[in-house]
Structure 1
């Protein structure tokens, strides 16, 4: 049970019935406020896509998608989505959404390679969103501007929870702290990337770590990121690479940093070709999504995913994601949680 963290003297602030009501409160308010703040239209999304089209998210490039043959398609295979990072960008074009506007959707995924823990489940639910931008927005300042707008929605949602459940006190700071992964490495050279995130999140409580996917001065990446959706190779004013990042908050229940969102400005055709070459996968240029992007059929955009269960976990001060969503857990994990007052649904 090394992957299970048990908070000392854990006592849930909400019972099971209250938790279900509170989950609806968080989700209803957050998605409505996010839609208004970023001017996003809700659309319906697929649960699976055809294999070999390049539409599915490759995440770190090692995770296996759930796949199945389709009888009506002569046993061609479809894949359950990992996320909708690329699909959303195609929809911006297909729905002909104007610059400054975008879309969001409920994304449900199955990730069988996840290491099950307090925060990782086989089932992933998030709001996937994408917004059409212009060339003038293809920069770090605009990325920070959008991150700040999302953070305002988080703070408003936290207040709504407090109004309904006053035992849950607001803890988010007034402003988000921005730091590049290279500066994080410089500050904490002897720590692992995860330990660096813990240190900076504990210090500032809400942080956006910029530059996920490019190599740092030590020759290593802060974390993996697929080469064909976020732009992690374009240099910023300081000479660092990356127009993407992760929103982290300090989780006082788990006593660690807590990722809420992965997001970024999406690759231009030039950045796509560059990153495919860096990752030695230029053959992807022949796939449907990549062809459409290189041929100029897809707009420039910014987008990301915001974990629904993660967000509820944080706002409701839960110790395990299984207190928010129904999934499959090892028997020994269920028993250990039950023994320590962690009720898995």
Structure 2
């Protein structure tokens, strides 16, 4: 067997691995029907929790969206963590005129605690309701029914609800890449959770029961790790019987994306650094997906360089099937999420993502000293 035939055979095998992920996870999730859950029929009270460290600009821009939700019996708890930008004074004024708003001010973090997790722990302890709905100061709920939609996914057996959080569309290739990376991440964790194999969530739109959080020791064993207050916590505690997803277009949140590559890489270094703490089965599954995604393109390029016209035609047929499958999934998600995406650039964005994921992910895994803000 010559070299090109071996490459072609391995390429087809890798293609089948990718096809497995698409047919088991991605297509069923993308084409699922968005049904309004009747779980929280009693309209349980909700506590929205937002941690803010020197976020006065974002609070002025976004807080009113959290305070004007169409939902009875909810509160917004803002934890002002060691801010020196005037947040304390401004929040004090807002609290006088907003009955939904409660503010907590932290001047010093406990020595053995990560600052973000310490702030969250204080906020959850102060929350008066059992359903905790998390977001960030730089996030914007897409609608005034965000709290309502997220709360509807709860019932007596559900303790964790994974939501969707995306980035706003702006000009430039960096924005396109950030949005691609975010949608692919959402596709992975939501489609796996849809198949009862949840492994992470994002703290910009995540809900769980306070009673469940306390019963499981809060951030015990995670308190000193930078990051992981969302994905690692979900990775430790999500089970097929206690986790649901909420993907209704009214339940999304949006954030302002980074506008410089350097800022984006710093942000993602913190996010990628916690992947090494995932459960072994999740690392294997994610590693298989990302490895096969990378090898598919590497072998395709090698095949084009070394193969005959017939070999190139066969490889091109399979890579076209991959691109079409990806296009269909992203197009359907764009409709489901109510967003617009530049679909014709998907192959370019995917190839760039492969370089970014392996190079920056490896570097992030070696990084020990990270800071929140």
* TM-score, length basis structure 1: 0.28
- Pick the structure with greater CA Rg: 2
Q: Give the number of the structure whose residues are more often helix, by fraction.
A: 2
TM-score between both structures, scaled by the size of structure 2: 0.26
